[in-house]
Amino acid sequence: MRLKETARLSVESLLAQKLRTALTVLGMVIGVGAVVLLVSLGQGAKNYVLKEFEGLGTNLIVIQPGKSDKKTHFGPPVGAAQRKMTTADVAAIERKALNIKAVSGLILGTVSARHEDSISNITVFGTNEQFPEILSILIGRGEYFSREEDEYRRRVVVIGRNIAEDLFGDDEPLGRSIKLNESEFKIVGVLAPMGNKVGLNFDELAFIPTQAALKLFNEDKLFGIRATASSREGMDDAVAEISEILKERRDGEEDFTIITQISMMESLNTILSMLTYVLAAIAAISMVVGGIGIMNIMWVSVVERTQEIGIRRAVGARRRDILQQFLAEAIGLSVLSGGVGVGGATLLTYALHLFLPSFDMRAPWWIVVPAFLLALLVGIVFGVAPAWRASRIETLDALRYE
Amino acid sequence: MTLMQLSNLCKVFHRGDEEIFAIRDLSLTITEGEFIAITGASGSGKSTLLYLLGLLDTPTSGQYHLRDKATHLLSDDERAELRNAFMGFVFQSFHLLPRATALRNVMMPLVYSTAASSSALNEQQQRERAEAALRIVGLQDRMLHVPNQLSGGQRQRVAIARAIVNSPRVLFADEPTGNLDSKSGKEVLALFERLHSEGVTVIMVTHDPSIAERAHRRLVLGDGALIEDRHAS
pLDDT of residue A56: 67
Span B68-89, average pLDDT: 92
pLDDT grade for A69, boundaries at 50, 70 and 90? low
Same domain, A326 and A380: yes
Are B112 and A395 inside 8 Å of each other by CB?
Answer: no
- B10 and B62 Cβ atoms separated by less than 8 Å: yes
* Same domain (yes/no): A99, A133: yes
Share of chain A above pLDDT 90, in %: 51
pLDDT at B115 (0 to 100)? 64
Give me the phi and psi of A275, to 5 degrees please.
-60, -45
Helices A365-392 and A319-355, packing angle to 10 deg? 160
What pLDDT does residue B205 have?
Answer: 96
Superfamily (CATH H level) for B34-59+75-231: P-loop containing nucleotide triphosphate hydrolases (3.40.50.300)
Q: What pLDDT does residue A84 have?
A: 85
The three-class DSSP label of residue B212 is helix
Report the pLDDT averaged over residues B201-210: 93
Q: With beta carbons less than 8 A apart as the criterion, state whether B158 and B139 touch.
A: yes
Query: What is the DSSP track for A272-319?
Result: HHHHHHHHHHHHHHHHHHHHHHHHHHHHHHHHHTHHHHHHHHHTT--H
pLDDT value of position A282? 87
Residue where a domain terminates, one of A225, A254, A283: A254
Inter-chain residue contact B112 with A310, CB threshold 8 Å:
no
What pTM, to 2 d.p., does this model score?
Answer: 0.74
Cβ separation A315–B56 shorter than 8 A: no
Residue from B111, B123, B127 to probe the interface with A (highest A Cβ count within 10 Å): B111
CB contact under 8 A, B89 and A308: no
**Averaged over A86-107, what is the pLDDT?**
92
Q: Which domain holds residue A302?
A: 3-52+267-400
ipTM: 0.94
- Please report the pLDDT score of residue A350 as a whole number: 94
Which long-range contacts does A393-398 make (Cβ < 8 Å, 24+ apart)?
Answer: A393/A306, A393/A309, A393/A310, A393/A313, A393/A322, A395/A310, A395/A313, A395/A314, A395/B56, A395/B57, A396/A310, A396/B51, A396/B56, A396/B57, A397/A310, A398/A306, A398/A307, A398/A309, A398/A310, A398/A311, A398/A313
Based on the domain organization, do A31 and A110 belong to the same domain? Answer: no
Residues of B with CB under 8 A from a CB of A: 51, 56-57, 76-77, 80-81, 83-85, 89, 91, 95-97, 99, 108-109, 111-113, 123, 162, 166
Residue B10 has a pLDDT of 95
Q: How many CB pairs under 8 A join A and B?
A: 58
Which of A4, A5, A316 has the CB atom closest to B83's CB atom?
A: A316
Name which residue leads in pLDDT, A2 or A317.
A317
Residue of B56, B85, B95 lying closest to A396 (CB–CB): B56
Work out the average pLDDT over B99-123.
Answer: 83
A71: pLDDT strictly greater than 70:
no
Residue of B nearest to A4 (CA): B123
Residues A311-351 pLDDT 10s: 999 999 999 999 999 999 999 999 999 999 999 999 999 99
- Per-residue confidence at B149, pLDDT binned at 50, 70, 90? very high
Average pLDDT over residues A131-146: 90
Tell me the average pLDDT of chain B: 92
Q: So what's the pLDDT on residue A68?
A: 64
Pick the last residue of a domain from A222, A254, A286.
A254
Whether A155 is covered by a domain: the verdict is yes
Give tens-digit pLDDT for A269-291.
888 889 888 988 888 888 889 99
pLDDT band at A75; cut points 50, 70, 90 = low
pLDDT at A46 over 90: no
Q: How many CB atoms lie within 10 A of CB B70?
A: 11
Residues A240 and A274 placed together within one structural domain of the fold: no
Other CB atoms within 10 A of residue A54 CB: 11
A9 and A150 in a common domain: no
